[in-house]
């Protein structure tokens, strides 16, 4: 029997919520329902399904049993009434925008947001008569929102400088003008932060990252109140179409079961790594909310169960950053994050390149900044690898392409 009562602990819900034994076969694992359509059984039932008088599956663009189990599991973890899955995080973000916005509306976001989300808000919504404001902090959010503000879009900690945003305070400001608050909870996951408990209306995910955890699927999800999820499913999913497939949902169901165990390992490894490099001569700044001198530390300590798996280091110059990245052995140079394997990236020349020099400088995305997604390997091995790479970066020698170690390359 599914254990999705909110009274159960997080780990219990991660394992059990959203599914029980398959009602037809007793299968213990959720079957992959590889079907596009579902027979009505009778013309009368077909009519009732379409009229919304009876609930049931009838077409996999709207709902599929394997996908449904994933939705219900994450809804339980987010403490939400319901959730709807999408083909990608950006599929979830665009569904939110197309469901809840119309010409004349305004959106306020506290940048930097994920690059794709900023692209959606700035480049696409602007063409449809939506005015978008990038606000620097809570004071400018308060000064910007007005009765036309429909959405306030937040992310915490932010990518890649790991600024922490006060969700409760931002939600109060947004709700004072009747705006909906969207929180991209990809970096924190519901294990560390539950935005809906702090007043947000919609918690969205790139499930590609920690929810999956294994780097083998691209997916998205939104968790929220029942009426908001109904609107998203009917408009943002049915009429836009970024639907998650049952095979991906099956992988995600496997992944989410170990989310709390993986997050504990990611957070412990990231904290140990951040502490180990703090004060190192080759490191100008360590951005990690778990360090007591991080500007968002106190807020993070209140708002997050632990401080997350991302650490960014400023090595002073692009040359040092490149030498460092090329010398790492256990961190694969790649975009994405939240995999069990450690990953590394240079935001200024890759994911954030399009922002332009002025915005990069304003957001602290310096040429020397490297972002590390700390995997679940032994923390001491990761620390040793980072220290040897810092030695290479400091020596001025570029080792070129790194040699993969074991299966982590």
Ligand X SMILES: *Cc1c(COP(=O)(O)O)cnc(C)c1O
Interacting residue ranges for ligand X, rule: CB under 6 A: 88-90, 114, 116-117, 155, 159, 184, 186-187, 206, 208-209, 218, 220
When the beta carbons of 100 and 187 are compared against ligand X, the nearer one is 187
When the beta carbons of 92 and 330 are compared against ligand X, the nearer one is 92
DSSP state for residue 193 in the 8-state scheme: -
Cα(393)–Cα(383) distance, integer angstroms = 15
Cα(213)–Cα(259) distance, integer angstroms = 7
The pair of three-digit structure tokens given for residue 398, joined into one six-digit string = 């570029």
Helix or strand holding residue 229 (H, E): helix 226-231
Residue 43: burial class (beta carbons within 10 Å; 0-12, 13-18, 19+): exposed
Among 73, 75, 91, CA closest to 83:
75
Contacts of 293 (CB under 8 A, 6+ apart): none
Yes or no: say if 195 and 321 are a contact pair by the CB < 8 Å rule: no
Catalytic residue, from 45, 61, 142, 148: name it: 61
Q: Is 298 a catalytic residue?
A: no
Least Å from the CB of residue 1 to ligand X: 32
What are residue 335's phi and psi, to 5 degrees?
-75, 180
Cα(218)–Cα(21) distance, integer angstroms = 26
Q: Is 6 a catalytic residue?
A: no
Among 343, 113, 67, 308, CA closest to 214:
343
Say which residue the tokens 């020349």 belong to. 349
Yes or no: say if 306 and 267 are a contact pair by the CB < 8 Å rule: yes
Least Å from the CB of residue 69 to ligand X: 20
Yes or no: say if 238 and 62 are a contact pair by the CB < 8 Å rule: yes
When the beta carbons of 282 and 309 are compared against ligand X, the nearer one is 309
Catalytic residue, from 4, 184, 314, 385: name it: 184
Q: Is 210 a catalytic residue?
A: no
Q: Provide the 10 A C-beta neighbour count for residue 123.
A: 11
When the beta carbons of 49 and 249 are compared against ligand X, the nearer one is 249
When the beta carbons of 159 and 161 are compared against ligand X, the nearer one is 159
Catalytic residue, from 13, 163, 209, 371: name it: 209
Cis peptide leading into residue 240 (ω within 30°): no
When the beta carbons of 186 and 193 are compared against ligand X, the nearer one is 186
Least Å from the CB of residue 154 to ligand X: 11
Cα(364)–Cα(314) distance, integer angstroms = 10
Give residue number: closest CB to ligand X.
89
When the beta carbons of 75 and 221 are compared against ligand X, the nearer one is 221
Q: Is 61 a catalytic residue?
A: yes
Calculated CA dihedral for residues 203, 207, 211, 214, nearest 10 degrees = -170
Contacts of 355 (CB under 8 A, 6+ apart): 112, 115, 118, 363, 365
Catalytic residue, from 114, 191, 250, 288: name it: 114
When the beta carbons of 16 and 352 are compared against ligand X, the nearer one is 352
Least Å from the CB of residue 359 to ligand X: 17
Catalytic residue IDs: 61, 114, 184, 209
């Amino acid at each position: 029997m599914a254990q999705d009562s909110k009274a159960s602990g997080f780990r219990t819900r991660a394992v059990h919520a959203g599914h029980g034994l398959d009602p037809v076969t007793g299968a213990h694992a959720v079957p992959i329902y590889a079907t596009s359509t579902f027979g009505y059984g009778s013309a009368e039932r077909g009519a009732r399904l379409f009229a919304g008088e009876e609930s049931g599956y009838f077409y996999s663009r709207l709902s599929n049993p394997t996908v449904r189990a994933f939705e219900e599991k994450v809804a339980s973890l987010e403490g939400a009434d319901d959730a709807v899955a999408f083909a990608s995080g950006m599929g979830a973000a665009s569904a939110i925008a197309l469901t809840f916005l119309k010409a004349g509306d305004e959106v306020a976001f506290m940048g930097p947001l994920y690059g794709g989300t900023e692209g959606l808000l700035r480049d696409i919504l602007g063409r449809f008569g939506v005015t978008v404001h990038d606000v620097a902090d809570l004071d400018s959010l308060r000064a910007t929102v007005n009765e036309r503000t429909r959405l306030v879009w937040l992310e915490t900690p932010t990518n890649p400088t790991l600024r922490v945003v006060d969700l409760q305070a931002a939600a109060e400001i947004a709700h004072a003008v009747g705006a909906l608050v969207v929180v991209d909870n990809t970096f924190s996951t519901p294990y560390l932060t539950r935005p809906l408990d702090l007043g947000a209306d919609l918690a969205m995910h790139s499930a590609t990252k920690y929810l999956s955890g294994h780097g083998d699927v691209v997916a998205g999800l939104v968790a929220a109140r029942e009426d908001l999820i109904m609107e998203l499913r009917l408009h943002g999913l049915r009429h836009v179409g970024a639907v998650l497939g049952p095979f991906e949902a099956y992988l995600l169901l496997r992944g989410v079961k170990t989310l709390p165990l993986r997050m504990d390992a990611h957070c412990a490894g990231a904290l140990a790594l951040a502490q180990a490099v703090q004060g190192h001569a080759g490191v100008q700044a360590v951005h990690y909310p778990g360090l007591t001198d991080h500007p968002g530390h106190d807020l993070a300590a209140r708002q997050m169960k632990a401080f997350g798996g991302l650490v960014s280091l400023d090595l002073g110059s692009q040359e040092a950053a490149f030498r460092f990245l090329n010398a790492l052995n256990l961190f694969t140079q790649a975009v994405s994050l939240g995999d069990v394997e450690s990953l590394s990236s240079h935001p200024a020349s890759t994911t954030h390149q399009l922002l332009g020099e002025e915005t990069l400088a304003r957001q602290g995305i310096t040429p020397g900044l490297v972002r590390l997604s700390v995997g679940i390997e032994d923390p001491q091995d990761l620390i040793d690898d980072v220290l040897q790479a810092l030695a290479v970066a400091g020596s001025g020698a570029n080792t070129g392409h790194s040699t993969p170690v074991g299966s982590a390359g």
